[in-house]
Amino acid sequence: MQVDPRGQRFAAALTSVVLIVALVTQSWVPLAAQTLVFAIAVLLGLRFSPYGLIFKVLVRPRIAPPRELEAQAPPRFAQGVGLVFALAGTVGSVLGITWLGIGATALALAAAFLNAAFGFCLGCETYLLLRRITVKSHSDREVPA
Domain ranges in the chain are 2-141
Residue 136 pLDDT exceeds 60: yes
Report pLDDT digits (tens) over 69-96. Answer: 999 999 999 999 999 999 999 999 999 9
Report pLDDT digits (tens) over 118-134. Answer: 999 999 999 999 999 99
Using DSSP, state whether 69 is helix, strand or coil. coil
| Helix or strand (DSSP H, E) at 3 | strand 2-3
The pTM of this model reads 0.90
Enter the DSSP assignment of 4: -
User: Residues 39, 83: contact at Cβ < 8 Å?
Assistant: yes
